[in-house]
Chain A
Amino acid sequence: MPRTAKKNPVDNIFSLVTAAASFSVILLIIGILYVLVSESSLAIGKFGIWKFLSSTDWDPVKESFGALTNIYGTAFTTLLSLVIAIPVAIGIAIFVTEISPNFLKGPIGAAVELLAAIPSIIYGMWGLFTLSPIMSNHIEPFLKKIFGAVPLVGILFQGTPMGIDILTASMILSIMIIPFTASISRDSFNLTPSVVKESAYAIGATKWEVVKNVVIPYSKLGVFGGVVLSLGRALGETMAVAFVLGNNHRITTSLFDAAATITVTLANEFAEADTDIYLSSLFYLALVLFVMSFITLAIAKFFLLRAEKKYSR
């Protein structure tokens, strides 16, 4: 910055205005944290921290609230969606970077990224009207027939497939996070120096061996960052799951059971909470979600920055 710039009064004002605008980001984060903590102070006082996080109660009538069923639902759907999404996303990245003919690279990459532009409410509605009937009539009975009797795994496939359940919600979530993981993986794969790849080809490696033993190890930091970023986004996804998860505050083990995530509970109950402690508990849930996703996203950012540093060297 040139030193003369500071002497002009208009310049001082302009720099202050821009500084204020950018500090609004920090203020917002602190403000959100402060407001959520103070709004949930009633519930924090009544249920404490550990007891709230570990209690499975969610009973507006008895005014007894705990977050565990919601956290369980969030964790279950998010992890399941990652399990479905990661192989597909990495497959897409491999296809776009290594297999696809050049004229298809751009269009396929762009098409997959378009998935990220579709609003989540559309996913939710599509899930409710289109995917959920398909799941309950065809896919879930099929899965139940195959895995239902298998010991251990069978627990996941008990109950009547209704289509409004954890599996459908996770499917939709997985479609939503595929573009994030895929595009970050693709960018990381692209950063592998061709010299390294060529030397692997030169000693006779097949294309898959180059991908498996050179490209993926080289770009694992970036891919991992992309996966954690998708995890952070999936944690906070609301509308896509609100339609197809039901709102069931119980710990369930089957993929065919309805459940509740933190976001679904907030979306369904926030505007209807009639007592102070009910509303305060919902704010407490929002606080838990904010902290969870903030930490997850910060970890993702940490890995992506490290990856960036490594590749720019």
Chain B
Amino acid sequence: MTREQIRKTEGFIALTLSTLAAFLGLFWLVFILGDVLVHGIKALKLSLFLNDPAPPGVEGGGLRNAFVGQLLITLCATLIGVPVGVLGGTFLAEYARGRKIARLISVLADIMVSVPSIVIGTFIYAVLVRPIGHFNGWAGAVALAIIMIPVVLRTTEDMLSLVPWTLREAAFALGAPYYKVITQVVYRGAATGILTGILLSIARVAGETAPLLFTSFNNSFFSLDMKQPVASLTVTIFQYAMGPYDNWHAQAWAAAFVITVFILLLTITGRLIIRWRYK
């Protein structure tokens, strides 16, 4: 073979391998989602949403407690995490704009986004579970909120920075104090972006399991009391999938299906909004 042919063959092989890699990525996505879909739909029944769990080994029952518990914990986490995140992001993008401290907090928040969530679970166990003496729903909600704060904070900071400075100057020129400029001009300009960030952060924590394992734990009974252990879908999936009963496995697949669909819808909606608004 001539030198040119060798170079061309080498290029052809490398590019083919890259193409195969891309299809491998797609293959995994289709494989995992398809598997969850097939198993999940088979096990999906209305009773799953209406009944509480049957005793172990007994057929029937549902996961009403876990669906409600999951919503409750996620809602409380959102109520704690979003205000802190949005306000924190406001400080970085507005009052501390360009200062070293804003830079530092921004970098630390980026790191916190990826810190192992199970470590946050152990932290909350020490702070909110052991002093109280038993697992409780609030502990789970706070653990999720801690995961949420840096995510919301960073997106808020980025979205506020996208609002043109001249818009603020126009409001200052009318004599508005800075807080009015922020709440009435900047927030409005960045509202879509901030909301999208919140959606994506909810999607992020809704699938978290590790921080709930030893905070909100699990509860086989229907309970709305956040001071007691609260069941969640993710912890229930873990328990059921590791359990010995086929009935449990089927319910775990159904729960996995519901939660995957919920999270993917949130994520895709968020991405579409960003694409539509900012590109």
Chain A residues engaging chain B, CB cutoff 8 angstroms: 1-2, 4-5, 8, 10-11, 14-15, 17-26, 28-29, 31-32, 35-36, 39, 87-92, 94-96, 98-100, 108, 110-112, 114-115, 117-126, 128-130, 175, 178-179, 182, 206-209, 211-212, 229, 232-233, 235-239, 242-243, 263, 266-267, 270-271, 282-283, 286, 289-290, 293-294, 297-298, 301, 305
Interface residue? B47 (CB, 8 A): no
Complex interface residues of chain B between 1 and 45 (CB less than 8 A to chain A): 7-8, 10-12, 14-15, 17-22, 24-26, 28-29, 31-33, 35-36, 39
In the complex the two chains form, is B84's CB within 8 Å of A11's CB? Answer: no
Total A-B pairs in contact (CB under 8 Å)?
A: 280
In the complex the two chains form, is B123's CB within 8 Å of A35's CB? Answer: yes
Q: In the assembled complex, which residues on chain A have CB atoms less than 8 Å from the CB atom of B90?
A: 18, 21
Question: Contact partner of B115 among A5, A8, A236, CB < 8 A?
Answer: A236
In the complex the two chains form, is B96's CB within 8 Å of A239's CB? Answer: no
Please report the C-alpha to C-alpha distance between residue A17 and residue B178 in the assembled complex, in whole angstroms: 14
CB<8 Å pairs between A and B, sample of 12: A10-B177, A14-B182, A19-B91, A21-B86, A25-B153, A117-B203, A118-B32, A125-B237, A126-B32, A208-B10, A266-B118, A293-B116
Interface residue? B207 (CB, 8 A): yes
Q: In the assembled complex, which residues on chain B have CB atoms less than 8 Å from the CB atom of A237?
A: 116
In the complex the two chains form, is A95's CB within 8 Å of B21's CB? Answer: yes
Q: In the assembled complex, which residues on chain A have CB atoms less than 8 Å from the CB atom of B253?
A: 125, 129
Q: In the assembled complex, which residues on chain A have CB atoms less than 8 Å from the CB atom of B85?
A: 21
Most A Cβ at <10 Å: residue of B18, B33, B210: B18
In the complex the two chains form, is B19's CB within 8 Å of A25's CB? Answer: no
Please report the C-alpha to C-alpha distance between residue A117 and residue B203 in the assembled complex, in whole angstroms: 8
Q: In the assembled complex, which residues on chain B have CB atoms less than 8 Å from the CB atom of A298?
A: 111
In the complex the two chains form, is A233's CB within 8 Å of B207's CB? Answer: no
In the complex the two chains form, is B116's CB within 8 Å of A92's CB? Answer: no
In the complex the two chains form, is B114's CB within 8 Å of A233's CB? Answer: yes
Most A Cβ at <10 Å: residue of B92, B112, B179: B179
Most A Cβ at <10 Å: residue of B29, B86, B89, B117: B29
In the complex the two chains form, is B95's CB within 8 Å of A1's CB? Answer: yes
Please report the C-alpha to C-alpha distance between residue A297 and residue B31 in the assembled complex, in whole angstroms: 30
Question: Contact partner of A114 among B31, B111, B267, CB < 8 A?
Answer: B267
Chain B residues engaging chain A, CB cutoff 8 angstroms: 7-8, 10-12, 14-15, 17-22, 24-26, 28-29, 31-33, 35-36, 39, 83-92, 94-97, 102, 105, 107-112, 114-123, 125-127, 146, 149-150, 153, 172, 177-179, 182, 203, 206-210, 213-214, 217, 234, 237-238, 241-242, 249, 252-253, 256, 259-260, 263-264, 267-268, 271
Please report the C-alpha to C-alpha distance between residue A212 and residue B10 in the assembled complex, in whole angstroms: 11
Question: Contact partner of B29 among A87, A115, A121, A208, CB < 8 A?
Answer: A115
Known: A96-B22, A236-B117. A22 touches B126 (CB 8 A): no
Secondary structure of the A contact surface, majority rule: helix
Most B Cβ at <10 Å: residue of A18, A96, A301: A18
Q: In the assembled complex, which residues on chain B have CB atoms less than 8 Å from the CB atom of A211?
A: 14
In the complex the two chains form, is B209's CB within 8 Å of A238's CB? Answer: yes
In the complex the two chains form, is B122's CB within 8 Å of A266's CB? Answer: yes
Residue of B nearest to A96 (CB): B22
Q: In the assembled complex, which residues on chain B have CB atoms less than 8 Å from the CB atom of A242?
A: 238
Q: In the assembled complex, which residues on chain B have CB atoms less than 8 Å from the CB atom of A14?
A: 178-179, 182
In the complex the two chains form, is A267's CB within 8 Å of B206's CB? Answer: no
In the complex the two chains form, is A120's CB within 8 Å of B207's CB? Answer: yes
| Closest beta carbon of chain B to A44's beta carbon, Å | 15
Please report the C-alpha to C-alpha distance between residue A125 and residue B39 in the assembled complex, in whole angstroms: 11
Residue of A nearest to B208 (CB): A119
Please report the C-alpha to C-alpha distance between residue A243 and residue B237 in the assembled complex, in whole angstroms: 11
Please report the C-alpha to C-alpha distance between residue A113 and residue B268 in the assembled complex, in whole angstroms: 10
Closest 10 CB pairs of A and B: A119-B207, A236-B116, A91-B21, A22-B88, A208-B11, A5-B178, A18-B91, A21-B87, A21-B88, A95-B22
Please report the C-alpha to C-alpha distance between residue A39 and residue B18 in the assembled complex, in whole angstroms: 48
Please report the C-alpha to C-alpha distance between residue A192 and residue B198 in the assembled complex, in whole angstroms: 32
Question: Contact partner of B18 among A95, A118, A263, CB < 8 A?
Answer: A95
In the complex the two chains form, is B84's CB within 8 Å of A31's CB? Answer: no
Question: Contact partner of A282 among B22, B88, B122, B237, CB < 8 A?
Answer: B122
Known: A99-B15, A263-B210, A294-B111. A31 touches B25 (CB 8 A): no
Known: A19-B95, A22-B105. A289 touches B116 (CB 8 A): yes
Please report the C-alpha to C-alpha distance between residue A20 and residue B82 in the assembled complex, in whole angstroms: 14
Question: Contact partner of B118 among A2, A112, A212, A267, CB < 8 A?
Answer: A267
Known: A2-B172, A11-B177, A238-B117. A115 touches B234 (CB 8 A): no
| Closest beta carbon of chain A to B153's beta carbon, Å | 7
Known: A22-B96, A26-B108, A92-B18. A117 touches B91 (CB 8 A): no
Please report the C-alpha to C-alpha distance between residue A118 and residue B10 in the assembled complex, in whole angstroms: 36
Question: Contact partner of B119 among A90, A96, A130, A236, CB < 8 A?
Answer: A236
Most A Cβ at <10 Å: residue of B19, B112, B123, B208: B123
Please report the C-alpha to C-alpha distance between residue A19 and residue B22 in the assembled complex, in whole angstroms: 44
Please report the C-alpha to C-alpha distance between residue A270 and residue B178 in the assembled complex, in whole angstroms: 48
